[in-house]
Amino acid sequence: MILSVLKKQHPYMIFVIPLITLLAWSKTLLFNNHSSIIFDKTMPLYDLIINIIPKNSSLSLIIAIILIIIEAYIIIRLNFEYIFLNVRTYLPAVFFVIICSSYLPLQTLHPVLFGNLFFLLAFDKALTSNKKQNLLSTYFISGFLLSIGSLFYFNLIFLIPVIWICEIILREFNFREWFISIVGFATPYFFSLFYYFYFDKIDIFIQILSQNLIIKNSIPTFNLFYLILFSYFGFLILISFFYLLSTINTKKIITSKYFTIFFWLFLLSSLLLIFVHSISVEIIIIVAIPISFLLSNFFVSIRSKWWSEILFTILILLITYVLIIN
């Protein structure tokens, strides 16, 4: 019943997405007494905002919610623009919101929320390579946007290969397009270096970069309820992945290419979590993008409506319980 309502392409879903977000964040908005992830060292643009808006204040929480809603709307637009799924549905945005909101310590105004916004914009630009011929400006802007995002959340620098993967899968490797994406990415750092050099603070900037690369964020310990929830998410991801593999030959070539890109984004993000010391659970916000489309593909395509409703209802009940009990 719940799933059948959320799958519909109906204008009321525009209002349901903010409502779901507010419900998921309601405990934080009302009490704000849980432990939050601590980013010990942060990047200049994030510091600029936090100096204006105190972290964990009511205003900062409202801004965090707005950012998640905006990013959910961008995910809806991406699905409508590139037709990742066979049907037009708002379900990817629903999954994105509940994934991003399912871990209470991440219900704060953290740098990944800003970085992910710019990553989505850069990702959108990279996907247009399937529709355009002269792409030098497109790849420059894509690299530039990703770089701006990394000035909020440094570890976005490791996601620049996603731009190249889009190029290789959707077109073919072109050295000029590859090079111009690096130029676009380097441009904000060039101006940042110039700023710090001009004010004789270049050593501070280098120290900020090195600290963001090696210092791991402080995160609260996972309890049993979170482990159960994330295990269930893992179960859903596995069955959704195998379902996609079994039906991939029935999809259009371009759709198969898009899901191949999602697979590489998921794999790269997972590898970064394992091998990059400064990355921790906050990477969930970025991993939520490919997972949202993977789960949506399964839940809108599976023939057994009864099973899909049961699986989705269990997920909602688990998330609700975890958010209340913690």
Range of lowest pLDDT (11-15, 47-51, 230-234, 245-249): 11-15
Work out the average pLDDT over 130-156: 89
Q: What is the pLDDT of residue 133?
A: 60
* Residue 173 pLDDT greater than 70, yes or no: yes
Work out the average pLDDT over 45-55: 91
**Residue 4's pLDDT band (boundaries 50, 70, 90)?**
confident
**The pair of three-digit structure tokens given for residue 97, joined into one six-digit string:** 């919101």
Torsion of CA 128, 129, 132, 137, to 10 degrees: 90
| Lookup result for tokens 């441009």 | 187
Q: 3-class DSSP state for residue 56?
A: coil
| Number of domains the chain is built from | 1
d(CA 200, CA 209) in angstroms, rounded, equals 16
Amino acid at 271: L
* Residue 216 pLDDT greater than 90, yes or no: no
Range of lowest pLDDT (77-86, 215-224, 294-303): 215-224
Structural domain span for residue 57: 2-325
Work out the average pLDDT over 291-308: 93
Between vectors from CA 266 to CA 260 and to CA 272, what angle results, nearest 5°?
135
Q: What is the pLDDT of residue 131?
A: 64
Amino acid at 247: T
The rounded percent of the chain whose pLDDT value lies above 70 is 98
- 54-83 residue pLDDT tens: 877 899 999 999 999 999 999 999 999 999
Residue 325 half-sphere exposure toward CB, CA atoms < 13 A: 11
**The pair of three-digit structure tokens given for residue 262, joined into one six-digit string:** 């999602």
> In the chain, what is the straight-line distance between the N-terminal and C-terminal CA atoms, in Å?
27
308-314 — which CB contacts under 8 Å span 24+ positions?
308/3, 309/1, 309/2, 309/3, 309/4, 311/236, 312/2, 312/3, 313/1, 313/2, 313/3, 314/232
| Lookup result for tokens 């697979």 | 263
